Protein backbone atom coordinates (compact mmCIF):
# COMPACT_ATOMS: atom_id res chain seq x y z
CA UNK A 1 0.00 0.00 0.00
CA UNK A 2 1.39 3.40 -1.02
CA UNK A 3 2.02 5.53 2.07
CA UNK A 4 0.55 8.99 2.45
CA UNK A 5 3.35 11.56 2.02
CA UNK A 6 4.23 14.06 4.72
CA UNK A 7 2.26 17.29 4.91
CA UNK A 8 3.67 20.00 2.64
CA UNK A 9 2.31 22.96 4.61
CA UNK A 10 2.70 23.36 8.37
CA UNK A 11 1.54 26.93 8.92
CA UNK A 12 -2.14 27.76 8.26
CA UNK A 13 -1.13 31.31 7.34
CA UNK A 14 0.49 29.96 4.17
CA UNK A 15 -2.99 29.40 2.72
CA UNK A 16 -4.04 33.01 3.22
CA UNK A 17 -7.76 33.80 3.17
CA UNK A 18 -9.72 30.81 1.87
CA UNK A 19 -13.18 30.75 0.28
CA UNK A 20 -15.00 27.47 0.95
CA UNK A 21 -17.29 27.43 -2.05
CA UNK A 22 -20.48 25.47 -1.43
CA UNK A 23 -24.18 25.32 -2.26
CA UNK A 24 -24.68 26.60 -5.78
CA UNK A 25 -27.68 25.92 -7.98
CA UNK A 26 -27.23 22.32 -9.16
CA UNK A 27 -29.40 19.33 -8.25
CA UNK A 28 -26.77 18.52 -5.59
CA UNK A 29 -27.07 21.82 -3.70
CA UNK A 30 -28.13 20.34 -0.35
CA UNK A 31 -25.34 17.77 -0.36
CA UNK A 32 -22.84 20.53 -1.16
CA UNK A 33 -24.05 22.71 1.70
CA UNK A 34 -23.62 19.77 4.07
CA UNK A 35 -20.15 19.02 2.73
CA UNK A 36 -19.14 22.66 2.83
CA UNK A 37 -20.17 23.17 6.43
CA UNK A 38 -18.05 20.21 7.48
CA UNK A 39 -15.02 21.42 5.50
CA UNK A 40 -15.37 24.94 6.89
CA UNK A 41 -15.42 23.67 10.48
CA UNK A 42 -12.43 21.40 9.86
CA UNK A 43 -10.26 24.11 8.31
CA UNK A 44 -11.11 26.64 11.00
CA UNK A 45 -10.30 24.06 13.67
CA UNK A 46 -6.78 23.95 12.25
CA UNK A 47 -6.39 27.72 12.17
CA UNK A 48 -7.16 28.37 8.51
CA UNK A 49 -8.78 31.73 7.74
CA UNK A 50 -11.71 30.09 5.94
CA UNK A 51 -15.08 31.62 4.98
CA UNK A 52 -18.26 30.17 3.48
CA UNK A 53 -19.33 31.39 0.03
CA UNK A 54 -22.60 30.17 -1.47
CA UNK A 55 -22.41 29.75 -5.23
CA UNK A 56 -20.39 31.10 -8.13
CA UNK A 57 -22.06 34.56 -8.53
CA UNK A 58 -21.32 35.39 -4.89
CA UNK A 59 -17.73 34.24 -5.33
CA UNK A 60 -17.27 36.43 -8.41
CA UNK A 61 -18.37 39.50 -6.49
CA UNK A 62 -15.93 38.76 -3.68
CA UNK A 63 -13.05 37.99 -6.02
CA UNK A 64 -13.46 41.35 -7.72
CA UNK A 65 -12.17 42.87 -4.53
CA UNK A 66 -9.46 40.16 -4.26
CA UNK A 67 -10.90 39.19 -0.91
CA UNK A 68 -9.62 35.61 -1.12
CA UNK A 69 -6.26 34.04 -1.86
CA UNK A 70 -7.62 30.63 -2.90
CA UNK A 71 -10.79 28.56 -3.19
CA UNK A 72 -11.65 25.24 -1.59
CA UNK A 73 -14.23 24.03 -4.09
CA UNK A 74 -16.83 21.76 -2.53
CA UNK A 75 -19.59 22.50 -5.02
CA UNK A 76 -21.14 19.38 -6.52
CA UNK A 77 -22.67 18.86 -9.96
CA UNK A 78 -22.92 20.95 -13.11
CA UNK A 79 -24.97 23.91 -14.35
CA UNK A 80 -24.03 26.09 -11.39
CA UNK A 81 -22.53 23.20 -9.48
CA UNK A 82 -18.90 24.10 -10.06
CA UNK A 83 -17.75 20.57 -10.88
CA UNK A 84 -17.94 20.77 -14.68
CA UNK A 85 -14.97 22.94 -15.64
CA UNK A 86 -16.79 26.27 -15.88
CA UNK A 87 -15.75 27.44 -12.42
CA UNK A 88 -12.25 26.14 -12.99
CA UNK A 89 -11.93 28.15 -16.20
CA UNK A 90 -13.12 31.26 -14.40
CA UNK A 91 -10.60 30.83 -11.61
CA UNK A 92 -7.81 30.13 -14.10
CA UNK A 93 -8.65 33.38 -15.91
CA UNK A 94 -8.62 35.28 -12.62
CA UNK A 95 -5.42 33.52 -11.53
CA UNK A 96 -7.01 32.34 -8.29
CA UNK A 97 -5.70 28.97 -7.02
CA UNK A 98 -8.29 26.29 -6.24
CA UNK A 99 -8.55 22.71 -5.05
CA UNK A 100 -9.15 19.68 -7.21
CA UNK A 101 -9.01 18.99 -10.92
CA UNK A 102 -8.47 21.62 -13.58
CA UNK A 103 -10.70 22.59 -16.49
CA UNK A 104 -10.23 19.46 -18.58
CA UNK A 105 -10.45 16.92 -15.77
CA UNK A 106 -13.50 18.61 -14.25
CA UNK A 107 -15.37 18.87 -17.55
CA UNK A 108 -14.54 15.34 -18.63
CA UNK A 109 -15.24 13.82 -15.23
CA UNK A 110 -18.70 15.37 -15.19
CA UNK A 111 -19.57 13.84 -18.57
CA UNK A 112 -19.94 10.09 -18.02
CA UNK A 113 -20.23 9.29 -21.72
CA UNK A 114 -17.03 11.03 -22.77
CA UNK A 115 -15.17 9.68 -19.76
CA UNK A 116 -16.11 6.18 -20.89
CA UNK A 117 -14.92 6.96 -24.41
CA UNK A 118 -11.50 7.92 -23.08
CA UNK A 119 -11.28 4.85 -20.88
CA UNK A 120 -12.27 2.52 -23.70
CA UNK A 121 -9.67 4.07 -26.00
CA UNK A 122 -7.01 3.14 -23.43
CA UNK A 123 -8.32 -0.35 -22.77
CA UNK A 124 -9.65 0.46 -19.30
CA UNK A 125 -12.71 -1.64 -18.37
CA UNK A 126 -16.13 0.03 -18.20
CA UNK A 127 -19.66 -1.32 -18.77
CA UNK A 128 -20.99 -1.33 -22.34
CA UNK A 129 -23.28 1.60 -23.01
CA UNK A 130 -25.54 3.43 -25.43
CA UNK A 131 -25.68 7.20 -25.86
CA UNK A 132 -29.29 8.35 -26.12
CA UNK A 133 -30.55 11.45 -27.91
CA UNK A 134 -34.21 12.53 -28.12
CA UNK A 135 -36.07 10.30 -30.57
CA UNK A 136 -33.64 7.38 -30.35
CA UNK A 137 -35.09 3.88 -30.23
CA UNK A 138 -34.64 3.06 -26.56
CA UNK A 139 -36.00 -0.47 -26.91
CA UNK A 140 -33.43 -1.24 -29.60
CA UNK A 141 -30.67 0.15 -27.38
CA UNK A 142 -31.80 -2.01 -24.46
CA UNK A 143 -32.00 -5.04 -26.72
CA UNK A 144 -28.46 -4.42 -27.95
CA UNK A 145 -27.06 -4.10 -24.42
CA UNK A 146 -29.29 -6.77 -22.92
CA UNK A 147 -31.52 -6.22 -19.90
CA UNK A 148 -31.08 -5.33 -17.11
CA UNK A 149 -29.69 -1.84 -17.80
CA UNK A 150 -29.06 1.40 -15.94
CA UNK A 151 -30.54 4.63 -17.32
CA UNK A 152 -29.16 7.92 -16.02
CA UNK A 153 -28.29 11.48 -17.00
CA UNK A 154 -24.77 11.67 -18.39
CA UNK A 155 -23.90 14.79 -16.39
CA UNK A 156 -25.34 14.39 -12.89
CA UNK A 157 -24.07 12.79 -9.70
CA UNK A 158 -25.30 11.60 -6.28
CA UNK A 159 -27.55 9.00 -7.98
CA UNK A 160 -29.77 11.80 -9.30
CA UNK A 161 -32.13 10.61 -12.06
CA UNK A 162 -30.88 7.00 -12.01
CA UNK A 163 -33.14 4.01 -12.76
CA UNK A 164 -32.55 0.29 -12.95
CA UNK A 165 -34.58 -1.34 -15.70
CA UNK A 166 -35.30 -5.07 -15.70
CA UNK A 167 -38.03 -5.22 -18.36
CA UNK A 168 -39.00 -3.20 -21.42
CA UNK A 169 -42.22 -1.95 -19.84
CA UNK A 170 -40.18 0.21 -17.42
CA UNK A 171 -37.95 1.84 -20.04
CA UNK A 172 -40.17 4.82 -20.77
CA UNK A 173 -40.46 5.83 -17.10
CA UNK A 174 -36.68 5.57 -16.68
CA UNK A 175 -36.09 7.79 -19.70
CA UNK A 176 -38.64 10.33 -18.46
CA UNK A 177 -36.90 10.54 -15.08
CA UNK A 178 -33.40 10.95 -16.50
CA UNK A 179 -34.62 13.49 -19.08
CA UNK A 180 -35.61 15.89 -16.30
CA UNK A 181 -31.95 16.81 -16.08
CA UNK A 182 -29.93 18.65 -18.75
CA UNK A 183 -27.50 16.91 -21.04
CA UNK A 184 -27.42 13.58 -22.83
CA UNK A 185 -28.77 10.32 -21.44
CA UNK A 186 -26.73 7.21 -20.82
CA UNK A 187 -27.99 3.64 -20.95
CA UNK A 188 -25.47 1.27 -19.45
CA UNK A 189 -25.13 -2.46 -19.02
CA UNK A 190 -25.95 -3.39 -15.41
CA UNK A 191 -23.04 -5.13 -13.73
CA UNK A 192 -24.27 -7.59 -11.10
CA UNK A 193 -21.86 -7.84 -8.21
CA UNK A 194 -20.24 -5.71 -5.54
CA UNK A 195 -20.17 -1.92 -5.52
CA UNK A 196 -16.85 -0.26 -4.66
CA UNK A 197 -15.25 3.13 -4.61
CA UNK A 198 -11.61 4.22 -4.49
CA UNK A 199 -10.61 7.65 -3.22
CA UNK A 200 -7.66 9.47 -4.76
CA UNK A 201 -5.53 11.90 -2.78
CA UNK A 202 -2.67 13.41 -4.74
CA UNK A 203 -0.84 10.48 -6.31
CA UNK A 204 -2.17 7.93 -3.83
CA UNK A 205 -5.11 5.58 -4.29
CA UNK A 206 -6.77 5.19 -0.89
CA UNK A 207 -8.03 1.80 0.33
CA UNK A 208 -11.11 0.65 -1.56
CA UNK A 209 -14.50 0.66 0.12
CA UNK A 210 -17.12 -1.99 -0.54
CA UNK A 211 -20.59 -0.50 -0.16
CA UNK A 212 -23.29 -2.77 1.23
CA UNK A 213 -26.66 -0.96 1.49
CA UNK A 214 -29.39 -2.39 3.69
CA UNK A 215 -31.75 -2.13 0.74
CA UNK A 216 -31.20 -3.54 -2.70
CA UNK A 217 -29.32 -0.52 -4.10
CA UNK A 218 -26.98 2.25 -3.07
CA UNK A 219 -29.33 5.10 -4.00
CA UNK A 220 -29.61 8.71 -2.80
CA UNK A 221 -31.30 7.65 0.45
CA UNK A 222 -28.62 5.07 1.21
CA UNK A 223 -25.88 7.60 0.43
CA UNK A 224 -27.03 10.58 2.44
CA UNK A 225 -29.84 9.62 4.81
CA UNK A 226 -29.74 6.00 5.96
CA UNK A 227 -27.50 4.93 8.83
CA UNK A 228 -27.66 1.21 8.05
CA UNK A 229 -25.42 1.17 4.96
CA UNK A 230 -22.25 -0.84 5.61
CA UNK A 231 -18.86 0.39 4.40
CA UNK A 232 -16.18 -2.29 4.35
CA UNK A 233 -12.71 -0.79 4.10
CA UNK A 234 -10.56 -2.05 2.61
CA UNK A 235 -13.12 -3.68 0.40
CA UNK A 236 -10.66 -6.25 -0.95
CA UNK A 237 -7.26 -7.60 -0.01
CA UNK A 238 -4.04 -8.76 -1.57
CA UNK A 239 -3.68 -8.69 -5.33
CA UNK A 240 -7.36 -7.91 -5.91
CA UNK A 241 -7.11 -4.76 -3.80
CA UNK A 242 -3.90 -3.65 -5.50
CA UNK A 243 -5.44 -4.19 -8.94
CA UNK A 244 -8.55 -2.13 -8.14
CA UNK A 245 -6.46 0.71 -6.70
CA UNK A 246 -4.18 0.72 -9.74
CA UNK A 247 -7.12 0.73 -12.17
CA UNK A 248 -8.81 3.56 -10.27
CA UNK A 249 -5.67 5.69 -10.27
CA UNK A 250 -5.12 5.01 -13.99
CA UNK A 251 -8.75 5.94 -14.72
CA UNK A 252 -8.44 9.14 -12.70
CA UNK A 253 -5.31 10.22 -14.55
CA UNK A 254 -6.69 9.19 -17.95
CA UNK A 255 -9.62 11.55 -17.43
CA UNK A 256 -7.20 14.43 -16.87
CA UNK A 257 -8.07 14.64 -13.17
CA UNK A 258 -5.73 15.74 -10.42
CA UNK A 259 -5.57 16.75 -6.78
CA UNK A 260 -8.21 14.57 -5.21
CA UNK A 261 -11.34 12.71 -6.19
CA UNK A 262 -13.07 9.35 -6.19
CA UNK A 263 -13.54 6.60 -8.76
CA UNK A 264 -16.60 4.33 -8.55
CA UNK A 265 -16.23 0.71 -9.59
CA UNK A 266 -18.43 -2.38 -9.96
CA UNK A 267 -16.90 -5.82 -9.46
CA UNK A 268 -18.77 -8.67 -11.10
CA UNK A 269 -19.19 -12.17 -9.70
CA UNK A 270 -16.20 -13.39 -11.71
CA UNK A 271 -13.86 -10.84 -10.15
CA UNK A 272 -13.82 -8.42 -13.08
CA UNK A 273 -13.71 -4.68 -12.33
CA UNK A 274 -15.76 -2.15 -14.31
CA UNK A 275 -15.12 1.59 -13.96
CA UNK A 276 -18.30 3.67 -13.64
CA UNK A 277 -17.38 7.32 -13.17
CA UNK A 278 -15.02 9.87 -11.64
CA UNK A 279 -16.08 12.35 -8.97
CA UNK A 280 -13.79 15.38 -8.97
CA UNK A 281 -15.35 17.06 -5.90
CA UNK A 282 -16.55 14.16 -3.74
CA UNK A 283 -18.94 14.59 -0.86
CA UNK A 284 -17.57 15.43 2.57
CA UNK A 285 -20.68 14.66 4.60
CA UNK A 286 -20.95 12.31 7.58
CA UNK A 287 -21.86 9.53 5.13
CA UNK A 288 -19.15 10.31 2.55
CA UNK A 289 -16.59 7.82 1.38
CA UNK A 290 -13.26 9.59 0.87
CA UNK A 291 -13.08 10.52 4.59
CA UNK A 292 -13.80 6.89 5.52
CA UNK A 293 -10.98 5.61 3.29
CA UNK A 294 -8.53 8.27 4.48
CA UNK A 295 -9.33 7.31 8.05
CA UNK A 296 -8.04 3.80 7.35
CA UNK A 297 -4.61 5.34 6.76
CA UNK A 298 -4.77 7.38 9.95
CA UNK A 299 -5.81 10.63 8.23
CA UNK A 300 -8.58 12.27 10.25
CA UNK A 301 -11.20 14.52 8.66
CA UNK A 302 -9.44 17.75 9.64
CA UNK A 303 -6.15 16.53 8.18
CA UNK A 304 -7.90 15.36 5.02
CA UNK A 305 -9.36 18.83 4.45
CA UNK A 306 -5.92 20.34 5.06
CA UNK A 307 -4.36 17.95 2.53
CA UNK A 308 -7.03 18.75 -0.07
CA UNK A 309 -6.39 22.46 0.48
CA UNK A 310 -2.69 21.77 -0.14
CA UNK A 311 -3.61 20.74 -3.70
CA UNK A 312 -4.33 24.40 -4.43
CA UNK A 313 -0.63 25.18 -4.11
CA UNK A 314 1.82 24.09 -6.80
CA UNK A 315 4.53 21.74 -5.62
CA UNK A 316 7.25 24.35 -5.77
CA UNK A 317 5.24 26.66 -3.50
CA UNK A 318 5.17 24.19 -0.61
CA UNK A 319 6.61 25.53 2.62
CA UNK A 320 7.86 23.54 5.62
Structurally, how many domains does the chain consist of?
Answer: 2
Question: Do 153 and 276 fall into the same domain?
Answer: no
Judge whether 30 lies within some domain: no
Last residue of a domain, one of 137, 170, 189: 189
pLDDT one-digit tens code per residue, 250-286: 999 999 999 999 999 999 999 999 999 999 999 998 7
The DSSP result for the chain, as a single string, is -PPPPPPS---GGGG-EEEEEE--SSTTHHHHHHHHHHHHHHHHHTT-EEEEEESHHHHHHHHHTT--SEEEE---SSSSSS-SSHHHHHHHHHT--BSS--HHHHHHHH-HHHHHHHHHHTT-----EEEE-TT--HHHHHHHH-SSEEEEETT--TTTT-EEESSGGGHHHHHHHHTTSSS-EEEEEPPPEEEEEEEEETTEEPPPEEEE-SSSS--HHHHHT-S--EEESSSS-HHHHHHHHHHHHHHHHHTT--SEEEEEEEEETTS-EEEEEEESS---STT-HHHHHHHHTT--HHHHHHHHHHTTS-GGG---
Kindly indicate the confidence band of residue 21, based on its pLDDT and cuts at 50, 70 and 90.
Answer: very high
Clarify whether 264 is annotated catalytic: yes
pLDDT at 78: 76
Among the listed residues 26, 279, 288, 312, the single catalytic one is 279
Last residue of a domain, one of 189, 217, 239: 189
Report which of residues 78 and 109 the model is more confident about.
109
Active-site residue, selected from the candidate residues 161, 264, 267, 312: 264
139 and 288 share a domain? no
Confidence of residue 180 (pLDDT cuts 50, 70, 90): confident
Q: Is 237 a catalytic residue?
A: no
Chosen domain end from 140, 174, 189? 189
* Residue 259: per-residue pLDDT: 95
> Does residue 118 share a domain with residue 151?
no
The answer as to whether 36 is a domain residue is: no
> In which domain, by residue range, is 172 found?
129-189
Choice among 101, 277, 307, 312 that is catalytic:
277
- Respond yes or no: is residue 41 known to be catalytic: no
Residues 141 and 284 placed together within one structural domain of the fold: no
- Higher model confidence: residue 288 or residue 71? 71
Least trusted range by pLDDT, from 100-114, 185-199, 204-218, 219-233: 219-233
Pair (252, 287) in one structural domain: yes
Question: Is residue 66 annotated as part of the catalytic site, yes or no?
Answer: no
Q: Same domain, yes or no, for 261 and 141? A: no
| CATH code of residue 261 | 3.30.470.20
Annotated catalytic residue, options 29, 70, 262, 307: 262
Whether residue 227 lies in the annotated active site: no
Query: Do residues 249 and 283 both lie within one domain?
Result: yes
Q: What's the whole-number average pLDDT of the chain?
A: 89
Residue 67 or 184, more confident: 67
In a domain, 2, yes or no: no
Instruction: Respond yes or no: is residue 277 known to be catalytic.
Output: yes
Catalytic residue among 28, 84, 156, 241: 28
Q: Answer yes or no: do 114 and 212 share one domain.
A: yes
Amino acid sequence: MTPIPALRIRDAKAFGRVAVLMGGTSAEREVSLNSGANVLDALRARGVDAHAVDGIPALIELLRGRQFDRVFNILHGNKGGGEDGVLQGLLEALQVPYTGSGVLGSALGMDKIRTKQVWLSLGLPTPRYARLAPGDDIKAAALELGLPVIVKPSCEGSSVGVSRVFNQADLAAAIDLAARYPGELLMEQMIVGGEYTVGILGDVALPSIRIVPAGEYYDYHAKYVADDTQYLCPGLDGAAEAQMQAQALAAFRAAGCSGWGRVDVMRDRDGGNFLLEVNTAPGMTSHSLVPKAAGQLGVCFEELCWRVLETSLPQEDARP
